[in-house]
C-alpha cells in the first residue's frame, strides 16, 4: 500500500499506541484504555499481528522524520541524529517494534505468560 509522507507522519505522530504512557496498556481505535493483561486472547494476537504488518511503515516514517531533521540541524546535532538513524535502520521486525512501542514488549510477555502461539 502506497502512502504519502503526510500519511506516514500521521501514523507515527498520531498513533494511539504511541500516546499510551504506561507500557502495560493499549489504547483502542475508539480511544478506550485497556490493560494488556485484560485483552482477550484474540484481541492481543490481532494487535500484535497489526503492529507486525505495519512495522516497516512506522520505521520508514521515523527515519523520514530524522532525515528531515538531519538536513536542517547544526552539525553536532545532525551527527547524533544520524548515528541514531543508523541504529534504527539495523533493527528489523520485532526488534524495531520493541524499540519503538513500549507496549509491544508487554504484549509479547503476555503471549508467553498465557502460553499462546503466534
The H or E element containing residue 112 is helix 102-114
Q: Please give the share of the chain, as a percent, with pLDDT higher than 90.
A: 33
How many CB atoms are closer than 10 A to CB 91?
A: 15
Rounded Cα distance, 97 and 34, in Å: 19
Per DSSP (E only), the strands in 4-90 are 25-27, 33-35
Q: Does the predicted TM-score (pTM) go above 0.75?
A: no
- The tens digit of pLDDT for each residue in 11-49 reads 444 444 444 444 788 888 888 889 999 999 999 999 999
In the predicted model, is pLDDT for residue 85 greater than 60?
yes
The H or E element containing residue 89 is helix 75-90
Rounded Cα distance, 99 and 56, in Å: 13
Three-state DSSP class for 27?
A: strand
Amino acid at each position: 500500500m502506497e502512502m504519502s509522507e503526510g500519511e506516514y507522519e500521521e501514523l507515527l505522530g498520531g498513533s494511539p499506541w504511541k500516546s499510551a504512557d504506561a507500557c502495560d496498556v493499549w489504547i483502542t481505535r475508539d480511544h478506550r484504555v485497556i490493560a494488556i493483561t485484560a485483552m482477550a486472547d484474540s484481541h492481543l494476537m490481532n494487535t500484535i499481528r497489526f503492529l507486525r504488518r505495519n512495522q516497516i511503515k512506522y520505521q520508514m516514517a521515523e527515519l523520514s522524520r530524522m532525515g528531515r531533521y538531519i538536513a536542517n540541524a547544526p552539525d553536532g546535532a545532525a551527527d547524533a541524529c544520524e548515528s541514531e538513524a543508523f541504529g534504527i535502520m539495523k533493527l528489523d521486525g520485532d526488534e524495531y517494534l520493541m524499540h519503538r512501542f513500549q507496549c509491544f514488549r508487554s504484549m509479547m510477555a503476555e503471549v508467553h505468560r498465557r502460553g499462546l502461539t503466534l
